[in-house]
Amino acid sequence: MIDVHCHILPGIDDGAATIAESMALLRLAVADGISQMVATPHINPGYFDNTRISINKALVELRAAIASEQLNIAVAAAAEVRVTADLMLAVERQQLPFIGSWQGNRVLLLEFPPSHIPPGSDKLIKWLGQKGITALIAHPERNREVQGNLNILEPLKRLGCLFQLTASSLLGDLGERHQMTAQKLVQERLYQVMASDCHNVNRRPPRLTDSMALVAKLTDDQYAESLVQHNPHIITAELDFQLGQA
């Protein structure tokens, strides 16, 4: 399985604070059957001011630890980018790392505020599309406005957005409202990928196997496998996955 959204890089956002925590998460991921992970630290100006340089530095450190421990998992890096007033300028300046590609477009993992879908988001998505960028919307089931009205996602669907399910939402680890929304959206087959969004061993640890089984129960095996195998493979095919570098 491929985990396309996780916070395993040490010390650069609210995920793993140390290399030891990073490695603990990776060991859990391997035990869960995950063979590749895309580290996606937050880029949110004023809160997490990550850049390609800071992300790559942390990736090099993590790969060295993986090689030292001879852990059988390959890692690459991108970012989870918050929708802010700075986003368009960052795109214009080519400052953002992409998670991969889909149908000829680059894919940007995009995060809305947890409270709502900001007004004008459809215009932003349209603008990104004109730049050859497809938005992969992170965990819409955790957005309170979406929880109150699933139809609010319709304009984003029509604009060709992809959607990422957080495994722990579906499993109920984040609360009943998150779980109920995730179940409804799974049954509607909204999502193209499912990821752990893991931060540490206690907060959303890697649990793709259990959640894949639940997706299969709600839909079918083929759809469940597409979320953690087929579609993530297509999206991340051009990324630089490595088992680690000593």
pLDDT of residue 202: 87
pLDDT of residue 246: 38
Predicted TM-score of the model (pTM): 0.96
Q: Are residues 232 and 193 in contact, defined by beta-carbon separation less than 8 angstroms?
A: yes
pLDDT of residue 243: 57
State which residues of the chain have pLDDT below 70. 243-246
pLDDT of residue 63: 96
Query: CATH number for the 2-236 domain, one of 3.40.1010.10, 3.20.20.140, 3.20.20.70, 3.40.50.12280?
Result: 3.20.20.140
The residues spanned by each domain of the chain are 2-236
pLDDT of residue 203: 79
